[in-house]
Amino acid sequence: MRRGLSLVEILVAVAVCSLALGPMVNLLSSSNRASTASIYEVMAVHYAAELAEQMTRFSGRLDDILADARIRSGNPSLTLEDLLTDPGFTDELRLHLAETRAVPFQANGVPLKVSLFVSPLHDRFTDRRFEVRPLSTTGATLLGGGVFWDVKIVLSWQLSPSDPPDKHKAEFSVILRE
Pairing of strands 125-135, 110-118: unpaired
The yes or no reply on residue 166 touching another protein (CB under 8 A) is no
Candidate ranges 81-89, 92-100, 122-130, 167-175; the one touching another protein (CB under 8 A): 167-175
- The rounded distance, in Å, linking the Cα atoms of 12 and 16 is 6
**Contact between residue 113 and residue 104 where contact means Cβ atoms under 8 Å apart:** yes
The yes or no reply on residue 129 touching another protein (CB under 8 A) is no
Helix (H, G, I), strand (E, B) or coil at 6: coil
The yes or no reply on residue 114 touching another protein (CB under 8 A) is no
Q: Which residues contact 114 (CB under 8 A, 6 or more apart)?
A: 58, 61, 65, 68, 104, 105
The yes or no reply on residue 63 touching another protein (CB under 8 A) is yes
Q: Enumerate residues 85-104 that contact another protein by CB under 8 A.
A: none
Q: Which residue ranges make up the site for another protein (CB under 8 A)?
A: 5, 9-10, 12-13, 16-17, 20-21, 24, 27-28, 30-32, 34-35, 37-39, 41-42, 44-45, 48-49, 52-53, 56-57, 59-61, 63-64, 66-68, 70-71, 76, 113, 135-137, 139-144, 148, 150, 152, 170-177
